[in-house]
Amino acid sequence: MLKKYLLPRLVQYVTVMLIGITMVFIIPRLLPSDPVEHQLSRMTAQGQYLDPAAVEDLRASLEELYGLKGGILQQYITYWKRLLTGNLGPSFAQFPTPVTQLIRTSLPWTIGLLLTSLLLSWLIGTTLGVVAVTYPNSVFAKVAAVLAMGIRPIPYYIMALVLLILFAFVFPIFPMAGGYSMGARMGFNARFIFSLLRHAFLPVTSMVVLEVGGWFLQMRNVASNVVEEEYVSYAEAMGLSRLKIMLHYITRNAIAPQITGLALNLGFVFGGALITEIAFSYPGMGYLLYSAILAGDYNLIMGINIFSIVGVSTAMLVIDLIYPLLDPRVRYQ
Amino acid sequence: MLRVIGELLRHDRRFLFGFSVLVIYLLIAAASLFCPYNTKAWNVVPRDLPPSWKYPLGTNSMGQDIMWKAMVAVKNSLLLSAIAAVISRVIAIILGLLSGYKGGLFDRVVMTFNDSFIIIPMFPVLILIASILRTSLNITVLGIMIGLFGWAWDARLFRSQILSLKEREFTKTAILSGMKTYRVIVTEHLPYVIPLIMAATINNVIWVIGMEVTLSLLGLSNLSTPTIGTMIYWASQYQAIFREMWNWILTPIALCVVLILGLYMLSTSISEYLDPRTRLQMIKEE
């Protein structure tokens, strides 16, 4: 099992990081735009007067900062050296705050949003999928299928915008933006927690509503194949209760693709979380990314990219490592 | 091909819906060529008018006719999706088929690369590129850019289809009866792969439309070119929600949602058609 299951996954993990991080290194160097010149022209456009010597000085230090000194190979080595020491350079818009520090403050928000919505949508979708298979001719099964199909393909931003218009503007139940109310003091008190939940409600709902459909449909499809297996008919013949068959015979056997799906969808859902945060001005990494775009903070955008590649692939590896514990078929291979 | 479409139109209401939506949008795109205004120019009509006979969807705060602008936006968004879809199709088909037929080391290398592309969150990468290219982004460049990152899922899908076809009885029969590899691929396998490619392409277009909307809303596209995304961008820049100018903000949102729903219905209908059990059901119903 170790050789057949673990090794390929570890190789994949390292490859993903290598390809992803190298991609982030190469892309800006392939494109016909010089970040240093861009930065300099931004500064002069803002009306700062700089004498030529100072400009040269600034250019040299910017090149140093962006890791643009020397040949491409040398640049690549410096780039990795900096990454491995956890140094993503300073942010430009909020100089000299390090990019890592900015990411660290916004990370908990993103993880909270991502985990809550992923967990909720997975649980609800999977449960509903099993129920729909157990009662295939019920009104519920039909309505759920139509709803899942109709809502699932809508882009994250559009869904967020529609919820925002409906439940924050037309019916002002929830706040339009932010992670908690201005007045609430951060800490473990009822008022802060309430405001936290109230602000998180719409972003989480927006993501859950979009993702439930996918989990539901996948579970329904896999489980409806399991239902036709002989051991299910055997269990029925034994006179086991419907609930028992549903839980022990159908769910247990159909759950594996749901977990693999969790790992495969992570990158996509992460992107969705970033978009949702931007739409709700939720103070996570997505919002940080948005402020970086507005400020032209190229170093911060690079940092968020690297961080999301490392984060998503590590999370995937963790799911892959837990997987054999849940699926005995992999364990006894 | 035409027979398949006819059959689906008769039997599947979802296909009928999706197909009608697609035809209507193509007609809108065609009609937009007769647009009487320059949709990039501001203040060509009076500002902030509610819907009327002269301006069926009213006008916006930039002095533009919303209906005509939306029609041109549909054309541009479809054009952009077509560019992106064609590019990602070419990559996905070449890699998927080669990988599936060749197998061995080539397959393993390509698939490792492919899986990395599936895992890496593409949204921040696209933002990185778009924020560097910002000044030179137009529909073509944006289409190419999105297309270059949207092939990985489908390459894997096509490969797995080829792998299963390779193992089927009829492939072996064809090879044993002396058919050339090229002919086996074209006459025996292609009919199976084409509907799959169609369904995957439609799903890809859905993804591209969503990506265009998102990037435009972040201001990362050529904002003077009307697309579904830039229309929403300008409406929210002018606070159309707070000013309750629903004709301005909801027109592009509705256009986007209906288009995506129609395309999604088309693709699920085609993928279900690929499942032999569904086809059996159709025959039974006749």
Q: What is the pLDDT of residue B190?
A: 81
Please indicate, yes or no, whether residues A67 and A120 belong to a single structural domain of this protein.
no
Helix residue ranges per DSSP H, B120-189:
122-133, 139-147, 152-166, 169-176, 181-183
pLDDT at A180 over 90: no
Helices and strands, counts by H and E, chain A: 14, 0
Same domain, A67 and A198: no
Instruction: Give the C-alpha distances (Å, rounded to integers) separating A244 from A274, A296, B252.
Output: 40, 58, 49
Least confident interval from A20-34, A175-189, A206-220? A175-189
B115 touches chain A (CB under 8 A): yes
Rounded CA-CA distance B114/A39 in Å is 34
Same domain for A178 and A264, yes or no, is yes
Are residues B218 and A293, on separate chains, in Cβ contact within 8 Å?
Answer: yes
For residue B216, pLDDT over 90 is answered with: yes
Range 41-60 of A in CB contact (< 8 A) with B: none
Per-residue model confidence (pLDDT) at position A1 = 62
Looking at the complex, does the CB of residue B123 fall below 8 Å from at least one CB of chain A?
yes
Rounded alpha-carbon distances, angstroms, from residue B229 to A14, B25, B208, B256 = 36, 16, 11, 9
Q: DSSP 3-state assignment of A98? A: strand
Read off the pLDDT of residues B145-161 as tens digits, 9 standing for 90 and up. 999 999 998 999 999 88
A214 and A65 in a single domain? The answer is no
Same domain, yes or no: A319 and A259: yes
Distance CA B60, CA B235 (A): 8
Residue B137, domain member (yes or no): yes
Domain assignment present for B96 = yes
- Of A34, A58, A84, the residue at which a domain comes to its end is A84
Query: Of A38, A153, A289, which is closest to B206 when you measure between CB atoms?
Result: A153
Helix (H, G, I), strand (E, B), or coil: what is residue B277? helix
Q: Is residue B57 part of a domain?
A: no
Instruction: Identify whether residues A220 and A150 lie together within a single domain.
Output: yes
Residue A183, pLDDT score? 63
Does any CB of chain A come closer than 8 Å to the CB of residue B108?
A: no
**Rounded to 5 degrees, what angle do the CA atoms A274, A278, A284 make?**
60
Inter-residue contact A152 to A145 (CB < 8 Å): no
Tell whether A65 and A107 lie within a shared domain: no
**Treating both helix axes as pointing N-terminal to C-terminal, what angle do B66-102 and B228-237 enclose, rounded to 10 degrees?**
130
A281 at interface of B, judged by CB pairs closer than 8 A: no
B174-208 burial code (b ≥16 CB/10 A, e <16)? beeeeeeeeebbeebbeeebebbbbbbbbbbbbbb
Question: Per the domain annotation, does A65 fall within a domain?
Answer: yes
In this structure, is the dihedral angle defined by the CA atoms of residues B262, B274, B164 and B98, taken in order, positive or negative? negative
d(CA A20, CA A5): 23
Residue B47 belongs to a domain? no
pLDDT tens-digit map of A182-219: 666 666 777 788 888 888 999 999 999 999 999 999 99
CB A155 within 8 A of CB B228: no
C-alpha to C-alpha distance for A199 and A190, rounded to whole angstroms = 14
Q: Do A296 and B253 touch (CB under 8 A)?
A: no
Identify the band that residue B282 occupies on the pLDDT scale cut at 50, 70 and 90.
low
In this complex, is the C-beta atom of B268 within 8 Å of any C-beta atom belonging to chain A? yes
Q: What is the CATH number of the domain that holds B202?
A: 1.10.3720.10
Among A15, A158, A169, the residue with its CB nearest the CB of B257 is A158
Same structural domain, A74 and A110: no
To the nearest whole Å, the CA of B180 is away from the closest chain A CA by 36
Q: What are phi and psi of B42, to 5 degrees?
A: -100, 160
Region A83-107 average pLDDT: 84
- Residue among A28, A154, A308 whose CB faces B121 most closely: A308
* A41 and A164 fall within a common domain: no
Out of B117, B125, B220, name the one closest to residue A305 (CB).
B125
Task: Enumerate helices (H) and strands (E) in chain B, giving the number of each.
Answer: 13, 0
pLDDT digits (tens, 9 = 90+) for B33-51: 888 888 788 888 888 888 8
3-state secondary structure of A291: helix
Residues B156/A329, Cβ–Cβ less than 8 Å: no
DSSP-H helix ranges across B150-245: 152-166, 169-176, 181-183, 190-217, 228-237
Q: CB pairs under 8 A, 24+ apart, for B55-64?
A: B57/B247, B57/B251, B58/B245, B58/B247, B58/B248, B60/B234, B60/B235, B60/B238, B60/B240, B60/B245, B60/B248, B61/B238, B61/B240, B61/B245, B61/B248, B62/B234, B62/B238, B64/B37, B64/B39
Cα separation values, A119 from A111, A122, A124, A260, B264, Å: 12, 5, 8, 14, 25
Asked if A23 and B125 come within 8 Å (Cβ–Cβ), the reply is: yes
Q: Give the nearest partner residue to A271 out of B122, B220, B232, using CB atoms.
A: B122
For residue A292, tell me if it sits in a domain. yes
pLDDT category at B284 given cuts 50, 70, 90 is low
Structural domains in chain A (count): 2
Nearest to A287, CA basis, from A182, A154, A179: A179
- For residue A68, the enclosing domain spans 21-84
- Say if residue A295's pLDDT is above 80: yes
Are A229 and A311 contained in the same domain?
A: yes
Give the pLDDT confidence score for residue B279 in this predicted structure.
66
- Position B40 in a domain: no
Cβ count near A262 (within 10 Å): 19
Question: Which pLDDT score, from 0 to 100, does residue A310 have?
Answer: 92
Higher pLDDT, B64 or A327: B64
B189 within domain boundaries: yes
Domain count, chain B: 1
Tell me if A222 is assigned to some domain: yes
Count interface pairs A-B at CB distance under 8 A: 130
pLDDT at position A316 over 60? yes
- pLDDT (0 to 100) of residue B146: 93
pLDDT in tens, A239-276: 888 888 888 888 888 888 888 888 888 888 999 999 99
Contacts of B249 in chain A (CB under 8 A): 165
What is the model's pLDDT at position A20?
92
- The domain spanning residue A259 has which CATH number? 1.10.3720.10
Q: Note whether residue A15 is domain-resident.
A: no
Q: ipTM value of the model?
A: 0.85
Same domain, A147 and A67: no
Contacts of A301 in chain B (CB under 8 A): 124, 127-128, 131
- Residue in A150, A271, A293 closest to B121 by CB: A271
Confidence check: pLDDT of A50 > 70: no
- Structural domain includes residue B80: yes
Structure tokens at B102: 């060749």
Assess if residue A2 is contained within a domain.
no
Which of chain B's residues have a Cβ under 8 Å away from the Cβ of A157?
210, 213-214, 217
- pTM of the full structure: 0.88
A92 domain-assigned: no
pLDDT tens-digit map of B79-103: 999 999 999 999 999 999 889 888 8
A230 and A123 in a common domain? yes
Q: Within a domain: residue B70?
A: no
Interhelix angle for A139-151 vs B246-274, to 10°?
Answer: 120
